[in-house]
Structure formats: C-alpha cells, structure tokens
Structure 1
Amino acid sequence: MSVLCRFFHGGLFHGRTPCLSVIGPRGVCCGVPRMDRTRRASTGLTSPVNLTYDVFDGKGTETPLVFLHGLFGSKSNFHSIAKSLVQRTGRKVLTVDARNHGNSPHSTVLTYEAMTNDLQHLLGQLHIGKCVLIGHSMGGKVAMVTALQQPSLVERLVVVDISPAQTTARTNFQAYIQAMKEVKIASDIPRSTARRLAEDQLRELVKERSVRQFLLTNLVEQNGHYAWRVNLEAIANHLEHIMSFPSFNTTYEGPTLFLGGSSSAYISSEDYPEIQRLFPAADIQYIPDASHWIHADKPLDFISSIISFLQS
C-alpha cells in the first residue's frame, strides 16, 4: 500500500468547462458538469480553494472512500483508519483537509456551500465521479450537503456523530477559539516545551484533556515561531453558520449510515424526523461507550461499522 500526499494547483482543464468524471475499467468517462461562473456568481459562491489531501492506494477497483474531518481537525485524524480500510477492503481511501484547516489554504469564507464547492472541485481534479463519502461532525455536514446537492457523486454516505440540525448548544467551541487566541508562546523553544506551555494555557477554558490534546494537533512551528495552523478568525466569524445546517427540500435516496457515539448528544431522537426526511434510506446506529470522536475512542468498532455498511 502506498500513501501519496497531493496539493492541486489546477490547470488540468485548459480551454473547457471542468467536469467531475471518472475513468472506469473500460475507459468510459462519466461526467457531471461543474457549476459555471454565471451560476457561481449568482449564488454568491467564491472560487474553490485547492485542498490538500492524502491518498492511500488500494489495489481494488471499487468506489473510493473519501474522509472529511470535523472542526479543528485535519486529514491526519483518519490516517490509521484509512490504512486499515485499505488493507481490509482493497479500496482506495482519501483523507482531505478542509479550507482553513490542516495544510489547505486559508480563506475569509467558511460556509458549507464553499466547503462543498471545494470538495466537488477536488473530486473533479481527481476524476472521481462517484465515491463513498464519510464525514465527521463539520465534515459530516459537508458530506450531507454534497449528497443533497450532487447525489450522483455519492454512492454511499456515512455521517459520523452529527445530524442536519442546529448543534450550537452541545459543545462550547467559542471557548475553544478564545482559549487558542490567548495562547502566548516564546520563540525558539523545543516543540515539546511549546506544546506543554500551550496546554497549560488552554486548561482554564478547555477542561477535558482529550479536547486539549486534539486542539494541540494544530500547533505548528513556522521559522522558529509557534502558531495555530487553523484560521481562527474565519472559524470565529462563521461559527454560527458552522453550527447550523442549510435548508433543503431535496432528498438523498442512496444508502446512508448515521453513526453516533452512545456517550455523545450530537445525534438525538429529536433529529430522527429530519434525518428521515432528507435521507429516507438512512440507518441510525450508535457505538457503545464512544464520545463525539468515535474514530479515536473506538477505532475497531468504527472500522467494523464502515465495513458492514459497505457490504450491506
């Protein structure tokens, strides 16, 4: 199994409208037209950014799996999961950094429309005309929006511990942002020291050690100075939007799995009617003793649930 890291600079579609396409085993290209400039302008969409991603190459020819991380996350959150799924299914697996996260470019805009547009742009560049889309938290909402907007792109959908509902009251992300903004670290000190100092400063507003450790994955060194790689300003300015979900009258009819943690409140029975309205083929399951970060708490159960869903 080989792992490839890629960053697209575009330039693959000179002189024609890009399309989302896949070259099948018999050389057949099935295209889905991309949104033209007039429509993009009329809907207020900004141009897509070129997302960074990792590819875990499988030898199989089945539809690839594409993983989308949550708020403050990155593509590396799913690396161990991706490696295991390649070994157990033979499928190619992609893990993707959202805009303003990981190594993807920063932008002043952080909306689900923009993030969905970024993803569709990436899939078009990679000639992936159909995928199994797996998204956690914020990434789960991007996955849902993509499936509802472009159902032909999504063969199957897995939404991890999130629902198409308002989620503001369930996690104090505003406190996390404030705590991260207040962190001050001296230059030219060892990374281990910088990380320890940053955690000490986060502790007052971020009580859970696991959450502090998760946030600290974003602490990076740049020319001797330490900084957060996530775009805190963009996240803060769009937090209300991120916590909400766009309104849809369309449905996604494909096989769908909502996978929640039994110790998490992000998928509640109050959400079931809206889930069934938008995703009529949805199955809702919970992994015992798992929090919001199911894939970190119970990776083996998480992988087994994904494989069972792929085989159903």
Structure 2
Amino acid sequence: MIGRVTVRTAAAAVRQHGSSSRCLPAITSTLLLRSIGGRSSFSTVKDTVPLVYDLHEPAKPVADRQTSPIIFMHGLFGSKKNNRSISKVLARDLGRYIYTVDLRNHGESPHHPRHDYSAMADDVAEFIVKHNLKNPTLIGHSMGAKTAMTVALRDPSLVANLISVDNAPVDARLESDFARYIRGMKKIDESENVTKQAEALELLEPYEKSLTIRQFLLGNLHRPKGSKVHKFRVPLNIIGKALDHLGDFPFKDPGKVRFEKPALFIRGTKSKYVPDEVIPIIGQFFPRFELVDVDAGHWLISENPEAFRQAVIRFLEPKE
C-alpha cells in the first residue's frame, strides 16, 4: 500500500483476474471490436503536426533535457495546462525534465481533420525524434494514455517505459457524456454574447451540472484577437466526428505486438475505464506491467494528486 493506493505486479494482478497467457474471458472479448485480420490498423502514411509544449526543468537535474525526460499527455478536451502543477512536482522529485504537450486539435497545437490514436502517436513519435530525446518515459491520461500505449507498441525503441493513467489497450464505448459536452460547447461557440466566463458557465449548465467539469471544459475558451466574444480553441466539429472512434485502440492482437519494457497502469477505483476484465489483455500487450489502484474517479490526477505522485515516483525511481 502507498497511502490509499494498492500496488500489484503483473503476476499478482493476472493471478487475481486471470492468466494473461490463456484465452480471453468472454466478457473481455466483447471489447475487442473490428479486428482486422489480427493486424494493427496503424496508419502507414504519416501526416503529422508539430506539438506545442511546456518544459518543466528540475532544480537539480540528474541528466540533460534530452536524456530520460518525461513526456506528459493530457486527455480529451484537456491541454498541457492540466498537468502543469503535477509536472513541476515530479520534475523536482525525480530530477528529470518534463515535456507537457498539447496533442493535435487541443491547446495551442495545430488543428488537423484527422483525429485518431495512430495519428496522435505519429505526432508524439515525431516529437521524440525531432527533439532528439533518448529513453523518454511516456505518461498519458485517458486519450493521452491510449496515445502513449500506441507509441510504445509501435515504436518500442523510442520509449524507455510507460505510465497509462485510467485507460486500457482495448476497444470500448466512449461515455455519452462527451457527446453531450460537444453539444453544450457548440451552444457557446455559436453565441455572439459570451464575453465572460460566468456567461459560458451558465450556458453549459444544462449539459453538465458539475461545476468542476464545466470549469475544466471552459479551460478551452479564449478570446480571439480583435474580438470581445469567447470561442473554443478546440475544433468542435473535428472532435465531434472523432468521438465514435476515440474509444477504439489501433492494435487488436496482443499475439502480434508487445511492449517488453516496464509499464505502469494506474486506475481510479471509482472509474469504469479499466475494469478487472481487461487486466489479462493488459498483461498480453504489456507483460512487464504493474497495476496501481488509486482511491479516485477517472480524473484521478486532480482528484488524488498525492497518491498519483507516489505511484509514479515508486515506479520511476532507480532500483538498487
């Protein structure tokens, strides 16, 4: 136990929830949709966008910014701003440089009509190569987690290890909340009267009662140059069209591709994104994984930052 965190190695997790080497349980196999002859549907045509990032520098670095850095990826409707505070803390504690990135169609990064995990993974792989980063750790939450997993499985030589936060390498139905959020955000975007954050909060309330979530979504608002009216940075039409596929995972057959390096999966005990039934699949794709349960929901980094911090440090600290 780390505080209110439960830690299990791959072997222990698989013993509890089923062997990773045997056939998948029936309830799990329903999540593996659209198998394409056992092959990954990863794109062979690269059409990347340059990712905007913030660099968090440790006061006492253990290496330069190109050696063993951390690349931190946000979830859907998020941005690099979401991970600013925890990245500063982790940079301090680990002595490592941390790049918090805006994934495509989010934050300050460019917009592109294609929005899927293969394309986002291409962007991250190009970011690693462009910045000449050696042995980086990938940390991703939700959408960022599936992006990180895709990079690790496709290009394992680019990555030292992986931390997936509340997501798993399976096809699963995306929660309907996101489609509702899009409708509410479009209502704001179509209005010519939203000049204050309070007005946007009020317009969004019929679509989401939680003030915390509404404030998170409105983190995407900005005032275009020369305008008094607030608009969203994220291209809502592009994201809206992509929603049907953002629950997917581009690799379908763990017998064809594996990431043989260390991986940490952190899940919220109050979240539905990583049910026990998918743990054997995690073990097949990531045979050296550890599983950590945190007392939190899907937004566990903000809900329980100390438990998240401890889990990450335990995993990344040099082993004697």
Find the partner of 2:279 among 261, 272, 275. Answer: 272
RMSD: 1.7
Match runs of 1:279-290 below 5 Å: 279-288=286-295, 290=296
- One-letter identity of the residue aligned with 1:235: I
Q: Establish whether residue 66 from structure 1 lines up as the match of residue 71 from structure 2.
A: yes
Residue number in structure 2 paired with 1:52: 52
- One-letter identity of the residue aligned with 1:266: Y
TM-score by length of 2: 0.79
Counterparts of 2:82 and 2:313, CA distance in 1: 19
Residue number in structure 2 paired with 1:309: 315
Residue number in structure 2 paired with 1:292: 298
- One-letter identity of the residue aligned with 1:195: Q
Residue number in structure 2 paired with 1:163: 168
Q: CA deviation at 1:46?
A: 4.3
Residues 20-48 of structure 1: CA deviation (Å, up to 9, x unaligned): xxxxxxxxxxxxxxxxxxxxxx9453421
Q: CA deviation at 1:260?
A: 0.7
Residue number in structure 2 paired with 1:215: 217
Residue 230 of structure 2 aligns to a residue in which SS?
Answer: strand
Counterparts of 1:235 and 1:145, CA distance in 2: 19
Q: CA deviation at 1:247?
A: 2.2
Find the partner of 2:207 among 188, 205, 225. Answer: 205
Judge conservation of contact 1:68–1:140 (CA < 8 Å) in 2.
yes
Residue 266 of structure 1 aligns to a residue in which SS?
Answer: coil
Identity %: 36
Residues 6-33 of structure 1: CA deviation (Å, up to 9, x unaligned): xxxxxxxxxxxxxxxxxxxxxxxxxxxx
- One-letter identity of the residue aligned with 1:309: F
> Any gaps of 5 or more consecutive residues in structure 1?
1-41
Residue 243 of structure 1 aligns to a residue in which SS?
Answer: coil
Of 270-279 and 164-173, more deviation after overlay is shown by 164-173
Residue number in structure 2 paired with 1:109: 114
Find the partner of 2:248 among 244, 247, 252. Answer: 244
Judge conservation of contact 2:48–2:119 (CA < 8 Å) in 1.
yes
Counterparts of 2:281 and 2:289, CA distance in 1: 11
Q: Establish whether residue 258 from structure 1 lines up as the match of residue 262 from structure 2.
A: no
Match runs of 1:120-131 below 5 Å: 120-131=125-136
Judge conservation of contact 2:43–2:118 (CA < 8 Å) in 1.
no
- One-letter identity of the residue aligned with 1:270: E
TM-score by length of 1: 0.81
Counterparts of 1:262 and 1:123, CA distance in 2: 32
Greater fraction strand: 1
Residues 84-127 of structure 1: CA deviation (Å, up to 9, x unaligned): 11111110111000000000000111011111111111111111
> Any gaps of 5 or more consecutive residues in structure 2?
1-41
Counterparts of 2:98 and 2:167, CA distance in 1: 22
Residues 33-88 of structure 1: CA deviation (Å, up to 9, x unaligned): xxxxxxxxx94534211110011123221611110100000011111111111111
Find the partner of 2:233 among 207, 210, 229. Answer: 229
